[in-house]
Amino acid sequence: MALFSRKKRSVPITGGPLPAHIAIIMDGNGRWAKRRGLPRSAGHSAGAATFKTIARYCNRIGIKYMTVYAFSTENWKRSQEEVNGLIDLLRGYLLDSKTFQKENIRLKLIGDFEPLDPDLVALIAKAEEDLKDATGLQVNIAFNYGGRDELVHAARRLVRDGVPPEEITEDAISDRLYTAGIPDPDLVIRPGGEYRLSNYLIWQTAYAEFWFTDVLWPDFSERDIDAAIEAYRARDRRFGGAK
């Protein structure tokens, strides 16, 4: 039985601990826009607004890390207009970062910044620096991120660092990922009705719990996060150990 209904907005007081780290695949923006006869970019704008709402909510209820998939290494295949729109949304968010300083929300971008404009890379560094002393939620935005690409970069770094084969451990690899220093996600949420990982945090999600919903990302609300957390807290995590 559900610990509380989808209508309520508070985190239940029973069950296991809250997830420290929630990773989200923000899927369904295009379909949300199409159903309204709007361009895909309108779906992404609505999705960006949802992202802010959910980040604020996670901060309020005491989640420590939230990692969102904003642009994958495969998303360059989309139209130039859509790609530019997504880059502009990131730019707007970074320019607005002072707002998040007030809310005590930290920021980190993860991904390969090599193909990004130098001014955007500078903006990322500035926003991260401005928010570095925040002690609330850390928001990680995956931008030009791909899980396989991340592992390729980590392997190159191992070679560059001259690490001998016998010293290549799981920690040595984790320390060279874009997410170095960030604990692995406890819970992965994918709205939008698809049931796949899409090259997202493939190393880090080895023991994550998964929660899927048909709700499209722009319609995703605090109630949905509550439902995902409720399901997570009712699960028995054994990390490969016996019951």
Least Cβ distance, residue 205 to ligand FPP (angstroms) = 18
147 or 192: whose CB is closer to ligand FPP? 192
Using CB under 6 A as the binding rule, whether residue 176 contacts ligand FPP is answered as: no
Using CB under 6 A as the binding rule, whether residue 141 contacts ligand FPP is answered as: yes
Q: Which residue stretch of 26-34, 116-124, 171-179, 226-234 sits at the interface with ligand FPP (rule: CB under 6 A)?
A: 26-34
Least Cβ distance, residue 93 to ligand FPP (angstroms) = 4
Sheet holding 138-145, edge to edge: 106-110, 138-145, 65-72, 21-25, 187-190, 209-212
Least Cβ distance, residue 70 to ligand FPP (angstroms) = 4
DSSP 59-72: HHHT--EEEEEEEE
Least Cβ distance, residue 84 to ligand FPP (angstroms) = 13
According to DSSP, residue 183 is labeled: P
The two three-digit tokens of residue 226, written as one number = 């509550």
Q: Does the annotation mark 75 as catalytic? A: yes
CA distances 125 to 57, 109, 128, Å, are 25, 9, 5
Cα separation, 15 vs 147, whole angstroms: 32
Site string for ligand FPP, 70-99 (x = CB under 6 A): x----x----------x--xx--x------
The two three-digit tokens of residue 181, written as one number = 């220093």
96 or 167: whose CB is closer to ligand FPP? 96
Q: Does the annotation mark 144 as catalytic? A: no
Cα separation, 134 vs 1, whole angstroms: 38
Determine the angle formed by the axes of helices 222-233 and 40-61, rounding to 10 degrees: 50
User: Binders of ligand FPP: how many residues, by CB under 6 A?
Assistant: 19
DSSP 112-140: --TTS-HHHHHHHHHHHHHTTT--SPEEE
Amino acid identity, position 127:
A
Using CB under 6 A as the binding rule, whether residue 8 contacts ligand FPP is answered as: no
Using CB under 6 A as the binding rule, whether residue 47 contacts ligand FPP is answered as: yes
55 or 177: whose CB is closer to ligand FPP? 55
Using CB under 6 A as the binding rule, whether residue 44 contacts ligand FPP is answered as: yes
Q: Residue number with the shortest CB distance to ligand FPP?
A: 30
Using CB under 6 A as the binding rule, whether residue 66 contacts ligand FPP is answered as: no
Cα separation, 169 vs 173, whole angstroms: 6
Neighbouring C-beta atoms of residue 32, cutoff 10 Å: 24
Cα separation, 48 vs 150, whole angstroms: 24
48 or 58: whose CB is closer to ligand FPP? 48
Binding residues for ligand FPP (CB under 6 A) = 26-31, 44, 47-48, 51, 68, 70, 75, 86, 89-90, 93, 141, 192
